[in-house]
Chain A
Amino acid sequence: QKEVEQDPGPLSVPEGAIVSLNCTYSNSAFQYFMWYRQYSRKGPELLMYTYSSGNKEDGRFTAQVDKSSKYISLFIRDSQPSDSATYLCAMSRGDNNNDMRFGAGTRLTVKP
């Protein structure tokens, strides 16, 4: 079993839809939870992060962390074709090292 599980998709939605992306994990030591967006032939770019459990909102994006269930989510409201990319969840213990564990990534396509 992988430390971080993420459905690779692909996921295809119409423009304007609400998108839900999820990851589960097994290591209870994870404290920081990140979501990265990666366009084709580009490096990942950090979308948002959450420390421990809770919700965080940034524009059309909302990240949720439920540490009791070891489950994290990213919601995209009013999805746009420009949101078409691969979304990667990542986690770390936060103990002064940069060893992040990534999910496999979910490929999202938003159709106009």
Chain B
Amino acid sequence: KAGVTQTPRYLIKTRGQQVTLSCSPISGHRSVSWYQQTPGQGLQFLFEYFSETQRNKGNFPGRFSGRQFSNSRSEMNVSTLELGDSALYLCASSLFPGLNTEAFFGQGTRLTVV
């Protein structure tokens, strides 16, 4: 059974650009959550999607957005990139929302903003 797949694995962008990251959940999983991991702040919740609807959102500016498609794949977008957006972006999938004890993470996309 394939795990959570995130693409690309590594990305280098320039300040002011925008970026789109992709997450394919485990087959059958319908809930996808996104997290940002930095050395200073650790893992922070960005947002959660289920059935193509955003159900919950963390405390991040509106430059961070996401969506989910009918096949449960999810994308997140960061516009007007800032140096502080450099981080490992992780997505986690689960069968349903709230199943934190059954959430599986992908390997992440490491974004570097220069």
Q: Which residue of B lies closest to A36 (CB)?
A: B105
Rounded to whole Å, the gap between the CB of B19 and the closest CB of chain A is 19
Complex contacts, A97 vs chain B, CB 8 Å: 48, 55-56, 97-98
Interface residue from A49, A88, A96, A98 paired with B33 (Cβ < 8 Å): A98
Assess whether B100 is in contact with A41, with CB atoms less than 8 Å apart: no
Q: A43-B4, A90-B100, A97-B98 are in contact. Are A102 and B43 (CB under 8 A)?
A: yes
Query: What class of interface size applies to chain A in its complex with B?
Result: 20 to 34
Interface residue from A98, A103, A104 paired with B98 (Cβ < 8 Å): A98
Rounded to whole Å, the gap between the CB of B44 and the closest CB of chain A is 8
Complex contacts, B55 vs chain A, CB 8 Å: 97
Complex contacts, A46 vs chain B, CB 8 Å: 101, 103-104
In the complex, per-residue mask of B90-106: 1 if CB is within 8 Å of any chain A CB, else 0: 10101001111101111
Rounded to whole Å, the gap between the CB of A112 and the closest CB of chain B is 27
A45–B106 Cα gap in the complex (Å)? 9
Assess whether B56 is in contact with A99, with CB atoms less than 8 Å apart: yes
Assess whether B97 is in contact with A43, with CB atoms less than 8 Å apart: no
The verdict on B112 contacting chain A, using a C-beta distance below 8 Å, is no
17 examples of A-B residue contacts, CB within 8 angstroms: A36-B105, A42-B108, A46-B103, A46-B104, A88-B42, A94-B98, A95-B98, A97-B48, A97-B98, A98-B48, A98-B56, A98-B99, A98-B103, A99-B48, A100-B43, A104-B42, A105-B43
> Using a CB–CB distance below 8 Å, which chain A residues touch chain B?
32, 34, 36, 41-46, 49, 51, 88, 90, 92, 94-105
> Using a CB–CB distance below 8 Å, which chain B residues touch chain A?
4, 31, 33, 35, 42-45, 48, 55-56, 58, 90, 92, 94, 97-101, 103-108
